[in-house]
């Protein structure tokens, strides 16, 4: 730690806990991944609970949560996946502001819905920014805590708090919106959909896929109905967004996620709409996913609706 400032100590890091923010934008043409939170809506909610701006770094907690010991008084909030939480020996709730004191410990228990929770501290985590972002990109070892997942014994400095804490007014609604076991997400036709037989593409809209165990923040590999492309299909590498649904030569389907590479040559048959990316980000290995085609107008309306819902949830 520097300058005598205090924060928290990681007593148990859980399965995969990383520092994330809204991402490392503007460097994809240099081959630098955007990264950032897998569920940006939950990341923003956690920050707003404690009075931070949306781009302040949080901890992304995946599947099995950590145990954190506090060295100073601070406001904290947890949003996203639903875990049982114990502040010392007292059960506390997600989607609300908590005040903690030096020596207290927050332990994440059993997960009941969703895959990723976001832990925010008022003032954020003062890890050094890299190319304008504190997000951890594990493949390149960039950002966050030395470019890696947190481990026991790590100490995180908390910055100065300048915002006003807020309170979520409808935590039960957020729990209902958190997937349990799988989700149906909407997609737009991708730029290479016209290269495939329409009957083959209909499989994508009617089949149920399962996220393979080897899936990670870079992408979800799916088990399910194969999508067979034209024989000998070859494409130049192109940039692609989060949610891009790609088909590899074997017919397997991959969905690009937050730590995706910046370019690739697999055909993109669909793209998950922006409004459903947070839902996709809450899925875990072995969860199911289904795809539903929609149009550009419906995609825009869904994004506007999700942002309006987000704004209405604060009192």
CATH number at residue 197: 2.40.100.10
Q: What is the dihedral of CA 289, 112, 95, 92, to 10 degrees?
A: -170
pTM over 0.85? The answer is yes
pLDDT band at 12 (very low <50, low <70, confident <90, very high): very high
52 and 118, same structural domain? yes
Q: Residue 160 sits in which domain range?
A: 7-175
Range in 63-77, 246-260, 297-311 the model is least confident about: 297-311
Q: Residue 313 has what pLDDT?
A: 54
Distance CA 125, CA 231 (A): 50
Last residue of a domain, one of 160, 175, 190: 175
3-state DSSP assignment of residue 177: coil
- Mean pLDDT calculated for residue range 222-251: 90
pLDDT band at 310 (very low <50, low <70, confident <90, very high): low
E strand residue ranges, 177-229? 182-189, 208-211, 219-223
**Residue 248 included in any domain:** yes
- Mean pLDDT calculated for residue range 227-242: 86
**Residue 112 included in any domain:** yes
- Please, where are the H alpha helices in 119-276? 171-176, 198-206
pLDDT at 298 over 90: yes
299 and 265, same structural domain? yes
Total number of domains in the chain: 2
Last residue of a domain, one of 175, 203, 236: 175
**Residue 2 included in any domain:** no
Q: Residue 296 has what pLDDT?
A: 95
pLDDT, tens digit, for every residue of 83-137? 999 999 999 988 889 999 999 999 999 999 999 999 999 999 999 999 999 999 9
Last residue of a domain, one of 139, 160, 175: 175
202 and 119, same structural domain? no
**Residue 1 included in any domain:** no
66 and 23, same structural domain? yes
First to last CA, the chain: 36
């Amino acid at each position: 730690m520097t300058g005598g400032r205090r924060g928290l100590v990681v007593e148990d890091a859980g399965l995969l806990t990383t520092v994330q923010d809204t991402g490392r934008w503007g460097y994809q043409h240099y081959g630098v991944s955007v990264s950032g939170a897998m569920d940006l809506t939950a990341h923003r909610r956690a920050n707003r609970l404690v009075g931070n701006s949306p781009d302040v770094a949080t901890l992304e907690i995946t599947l099995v949560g950590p145990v954190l010991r506090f060295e100073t008084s601070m406001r904290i909030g947890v949003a996203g996946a639903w875990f049982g939480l114990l502040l010392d020996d007292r059960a506390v709730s997600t989607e609300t502001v908590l005040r903690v004191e030096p020596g207290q410990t927050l332990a994440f228990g059993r997960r009941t819905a969703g895959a990723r929770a976001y832990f925010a501290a008022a003032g954020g985590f003062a890890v050094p920014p890299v190319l304008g972002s504190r997000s951890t990109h594990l493949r390149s070892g960039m950002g966050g805590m030395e470019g890696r997942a947190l481990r026991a014994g790590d100490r995180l400095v908390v910055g100065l708090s300048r915002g006003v804490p807020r309170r979520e007014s409808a935590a039960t609604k957020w729990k209902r919106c958190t997937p349990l076991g799988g989700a149906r997400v909407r997609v737009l036709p991708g730029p290479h959909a016209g290269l495939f037989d329409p009957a083959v593409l209909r499989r994508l809209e009617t089949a149920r896929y399962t996220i393979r165990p080897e899936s990670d923040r870079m992408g979800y590999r799916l088990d399910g109905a194969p999508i067979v492309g034209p024989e000998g299909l070859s494409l130049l590498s192109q940039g692609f967004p989060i949610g891009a649904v790609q088909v590899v030569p074997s017919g397997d389907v991959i969905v690009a996620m937050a730590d995706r590479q910046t370019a690739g040559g697999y055909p993109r048959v669909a793209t998950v709409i922006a409004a459903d990316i947070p839902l996709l980000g809450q899925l875990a290995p072995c969860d199911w996913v289904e795809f539903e085609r929609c149009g550009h107008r419906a995609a825009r309306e869904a994004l506007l609706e999700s942002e309006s819902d987000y704004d209405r949830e604060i009192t």
